[in-house]
């Protein structure tokens, strides 16, 4: 099974989920129900003879005894990669390139001061891209995949083979850079019925906390966003009609510096 079919679940944001039987190549021969046969030895003739990805039909054998299917081998490798680099599990996601069949994303672990770059090419020819990173002076090496990587003053240059994924890691930690003062905006969201808070921050990467205060009450944190564009969403129905609310955005940089926006007053339920 090509890497892009599996890798995004392990290398992008979210918890990977493997459907029962996928690790031994179960695909069935008549819809989803036919791909749900027993893992134990089966006496159902149809299930005994159904084809499998990466291996022969199971026959009268036990699927529990299959440990060398290439799908399972790839899943083990991806799982080990997530264990080695926690940024792949919990890191911020910063899209560096998204065009045609190619996607490149930085996964940034603020606690460990580490950036991992993951790249996907779903096309049928090799892709060559140069992207900016938060670790510009680093020497990069491939931790997964067969692509090539080099770094120059212009950024990180990747060659991604067709229908594949590449993970590259730097030899140094994040560049420690301070932040400018965040700028907070507020307004109705264009795509939903929610009310949107947004923040722009010079420098980065950053982790941005959004907080609000109702009347003379205490400040209350409503969201944290660690990937630009930095946003938070409020449910207008939770506020009184025409209620005026004050908001602020507080950004923390990789050097530990903290910068806060000027307070902005808005009406989430006009």
pLDDT given at position 6? 67
Q: What is the pLDDT of residues 164-197, one digit of tens each?
A: 999 999 999 887 777 889 999 999 999 999 999 9
Question: Is pLDDT above 50 for 1?
Answer: no
Question: Is pLDDT above 70 for 205?
Answer: yes
Mean pLDDT, the chain, rounded, equals: 90
Question: Is pLDDT above 50 for 139?
Answer: yes
Question: How many residues are recorded in the chain?
Answer: 270
In the numeric block, which tokens belong to residue 125? 């020819």
Bond prior to 205 in cis (omega within 30° of 0): yes
pLDDT given at position 232? 98
- Residue 107's pLDDT band (boundaries 50, 70, 90)? very high
Mean pLDDT of 208-229: 94
pLDDT given at position 4? 46
pLDDT given at position 2? 42
Report all structural domains of the chain as residue ranges with CATH numbers, in order of start: 3-82 (no CATH), 86-170 (2.60.40.1180), 183-266 (2.60.40.10)
pTM: 0.82
Percent of the chain surpassing pLDDT 90: 67
- Residue 70's pLDDT band (boundaries 50, 70, 90)? very high
Q: Which DSSP string corresponds to 137-205?
A: T--EEEEESS-EEEEETTEEEEEE-TTEEEEEEESS----------EEEEEE-SSSSSEEEEEE-SSS-
Q: What is the pLDDT of residues 4-36, one digit of tens each?
A: 466 788 999 888 888 888 899 888 887 777 777
Mean pLDDT of 203-225: 93
pLDDT given at position 5? 61
Burial of residue 270, with CB atoms counted within 10 A of its CB: 0-12 exposed, 13-18 middle, 19 or more buried? exposed
Question: Is pLDDT above 50 for 3?
Answer: no
Phi–psi pair at 202, nearest 5 degrees: -75, 140
pLDDT given at position 30? 75
Dist. CA 93–CA 145, nearest whole Å: 20
Mean pLDDT of 29-54: 84
In the numeric block, which tokens belong to residue 9? 């679940």
């Amino acid at each position: 099974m090509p890497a892009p079919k599996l890798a995004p679940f392990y290398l992008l944001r979210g918890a990977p989920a493997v459907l029962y039987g996928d690790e031994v190549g179960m695909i069935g021969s008549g819809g989803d129900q036919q791909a749900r046969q027993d893992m134990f030895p089966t006496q159902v003739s149809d299930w005994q003879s159904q084809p499998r990805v990466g291996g022969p039909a199971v026959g009268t054998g036990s699927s529990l005894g299959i440990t060398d299917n290439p799908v399972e081998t790839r899943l083990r490798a991806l799982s080990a990669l997530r264990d080695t680099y926690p940024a792949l599990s919990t890191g911020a996601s910063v899209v560096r390139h998204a065009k045609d069949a190619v996607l490149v994303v930085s996964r940034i672990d603020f606690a460990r001061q580490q950036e991992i770059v993951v790249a996907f090419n779903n096309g049928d020819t090799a892709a060559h891209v140069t992207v900016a990173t938060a670790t510009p002076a680093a020497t990069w090496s491939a931790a997964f995949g067969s692509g090539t990587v080099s770094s120059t003053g212009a950024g990180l240059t990747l060659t991604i083979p067709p229908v594949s994924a590449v993970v590259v890691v730097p030899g140094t930690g994040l560049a420690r850079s301070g932040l400018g003062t965040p700028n907070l905006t507020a307004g109705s969201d264009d795509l939903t019925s929610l009310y949107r808070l947004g923040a722009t921050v010079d420098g980065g990467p950053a982790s941005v906390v959004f907080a609000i205060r109702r009347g003379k009450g205490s400040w209350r944190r409503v969201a944290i966003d660690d990937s630009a564009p930095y946003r938070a969403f409020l449910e207008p129905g939770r506020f009184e009609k025409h209620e005026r609310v004050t908001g602020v955005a507080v950004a923390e940089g990789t050097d530990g510096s903290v910068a806060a926006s000027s307070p902005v007053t808005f009406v989430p339920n006009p």
